[in-house]
Every structure is written in C-alpha cells, then in structure tokens.
Amino acid sequence: MAELGSTIYLLAAVLAVVAFIYSSVGLGGGSSYTALMAIAGVSYLAIPGISLVLNLFVSSVGSYNFIRHRHARPRLVLPFLLSSIPMAYFGGTLQLDKTTFLWVLWISLLFVAARIYLFDQIPLKLDFGKTQKLIISVVAGMLLGLLAGTVGIGGGIYLVPLILLLGLGNAKEAAACGVIFVFVNSVAGLIARFQYQPVNLLEYWPLFVAVLVAGYAGSYLGAQHYQPRTIEKLLGIIILVAIVLLARKLLL
C-alpha cells in the first residue's frame, strides 16, 4: 500500500463501482479487478493474491445462491475441479519475475477481450462424444486453474461459454459451475500463495472493504434492468485500456 499512497482509496472507489454493477447482474468481474490494479501500479507480487481474495468475496455469494436454488450439478463441475485444483495450487507457488508476470497477465487479458467482444454468443454446440467432452473438460480445468493461481483471473469468463459450447448444461447450470469453479480455485491458489509467496494483504484492506460492501449491495438490489452482456462489454473497456498500458510498459 505504501507505493500507492492515497491512490489506493481512489482505486477502492473505482473497484466499488465495478463490483456494484457486476454483482447487480450476477457477474464476478475478476479480470476487471486485475486490470485496474495493473493500471494503478499495484505491486505485481500482490495482484494475484488480492484478485483471488476479491474472487472469493464475489463467488462465495454466487455459489451459495446457485447451490440453494439447485442449479449446481456435481457431475458437471467435478471434472473441471479435479484437474484445476492442483494446477491452481501449482500456479500459486510460481515465483515469476515482474516482466514475465506482466507478459502472462497481458496475454490473459487479450483472451478476455477476445472472449468479450469477438465471441459474445454461442452459435452452435460441438458434437463431441462423452469421452471427448471429458478430455476437453479436464484440459480446460488444468489451464484455467493454472491461470487462476498465477495471475488471479478466476476463469469463469472462459468456462461458462465452454460448457454451453460443449452442450454440457444450460445457462444457469453453466453459471453455477463457473462461480463454484472460481471459488474453489481461488481457495487453492490462495493457500499456495500464503505458503510460498506471502504478501501482507491487510495493507490493501480498502480494496477488500470496497468490493465486499459494493458487491453485496449490488447483489441485494439486483438492478434487473441492466443486461449482463451490455455491462460486460462496457466494463470490458477497462480490459482494453489495461492491454494498451501494459503493452507500453512491456515494449517501451
């Protein structure tokens, strides 16, 4: 927090707005939190841990609600979880230097932007057999788990459309799988970071308080007149700005 000074309170205010809007339409927004922290100059050592904690705050409420309303299907989420948990833990143990971390984050944000703006709808379902779908689920879980542990992006933004594309479940079941996936892998990644790369997360308490309060308020009020895809695209602008600014840091 020392390197940010009073800027951390401005960052907390921006994160609060993002958390309120995202939670009001049932979205998480972990990639936007990560992008904003990168723009603000938060230490690259702290970003993954902070993002994972923020993911926990948002996904815990979502997981509870989806499970309570019986949208969660264990047989759907288990293949993703079984392969992702060890990879999220492994990602949390990695000690990347600043340049490597920023490159990984930059590439991850590119894929997030492509997912938001280029692949916003699922026009078809892939006709794969059960074995092929299982293999894809396991591999996807491994890759997304590694991403979660390494840079703190939960992976739900990729997982939900993949489930729909494979025809593994309906929209609510896919959303339930995505939010549970984010929660579990955030826990695994945080355990590893506490063990191998401890960061004093209490120094960043304004960010946690802002997201927790605003996220709860947005979820409680439930601004149903907003469209999730519209909100996602608007807040995706944050991702695009982060891509440009990170590219300048890496290439200049």
The CA distance from 166 to 140, in Å, is 12
What is the token pair recorded at 22? 């995202």
Task: Give 83-127 pLDDT, tens digit per residue.
Answer: 999 999 999 998 888 889 989 999 988 988 887 787 665 555 667
The CA distance from 182 to 210, in Å, is 20
Single-letter amino acid, residue 154: G
At 3 the pLDDT is 58
Is 134's pLDDT higher than 80? yes
Task: Give 221-235 pLDDT, tens digit per residue.
Answer: 654 555 666 767 777
At 93 the pLDDT is 93
The CA distance from 81 to 85, in Å, is 6
> What's the whole-model pTM score?
0.83
At 4 the pLDDT is 64
Is 25's pLDDT higher than 80? no
CB 46 within 8 A of CB 33: no
The CA distance from 10 to 20, in Å, is 16
Quick one: which of 41, 23, 144, 129 has its CA closest to 83? 144
Rg of the chain taking only CA atoms, in angstroms: 17
Confidence band, pLDDT 50/70/90 cuts, at residue 217: confident
